[in-house]
Amino acid sequence: MLFDLHVHTSHSACSTLELGQILAHAAARGLDGVCLTDHNTMAAGQQVREGIQADGLCVIVGMEYATPQGDFLLFGPFEQLRPGLAAEELLALVDELQGVAVAAHPHRAGRSTAEALVAGGCCRLVEEINGRNSALENQRSQGWLNRYSLAACGGSDAHSLAELGRVVTSFSRPIRKRLDLVGALRAGACRGDWNPRHALNRLAA
């Protein structure tokens, strides 16, 4: 199954992408599912029923949580998560609540992930390809995979319709609800890649 694991709706102030646009265009981009990951909020979950939609698209609500030591895509029971946590405290809480955290764009200038978090095993899953990163930033993220034996995924980091589905995560098991996604990510049953069905990627080929 192909998911865009990193999509921002208009609940993120920096995004122009409306939920209706995501639902209308995801299948045409070859997506089986999308994850709504707004900045520090899961409010998008008030607008959509999570899980499989009438057209077969799977919608999962998470969030992108900012810490001084990096940003993390979170999936799990985090609707009431308080802001302002440091990364180590956040990651310990994610484990305690049996959720999952992905280091988002870990080598982006100004928003990088502290390497000690992955070297020490606090974070075991990284966004190896981010659709808004430079090629060098993505290469550096991929360099961590073997060095620290990490699991990896990818996401478009879409803030506009043009970006939706540019980068995908491929899952080797079915995903029908949030718990399925959490289990697959924790098991490392995933990998990130550019989406060949996305127009921007075809033009760049």
Amino acid letter for position 167: V
pLDDT of residue 111: 86
- For 36, the domain range is 2-204
pLDDT of residue 11: 97
- Please state the rounded mean pLDDT for residues 16-24: 97
Name the CA dihedral angle for 156, 7, 65, 107, rounded to a multiple of 10 degrees: 10
The percentage of the chain sitting over the pLDDT mark of 90, rounded to a whole number, equals 93
d(CA 174, CA 168): 15
Provide the terminal-to-terminal Cα distance of the chain, rounded to the nearest Å.
23
Say whether pLDDT at 199 is over 80: no
Give the total number of structural domains in the chain: 1
158 DSSP assignment: B
Q: Buried (b) or exposed (e) across 165-185, using 16+ Cβ within 10 A?
A: bbbbbbbeeebeebebbbebb
Mean pLDDT estimate for the chain: 95
Tokens of 145: 């995979």
Contacts of 177 (CB under 8 A, 6+ apart): 50, 51, 58, 60
CATH number of the domain residue 33 falls in = 3.20.20.140
Instruction: Provide the pLDDT confidence category of residue 198 given band limits of 50, 70 and 90.
Output: confident
- Cα 165 off chain centre by: 11
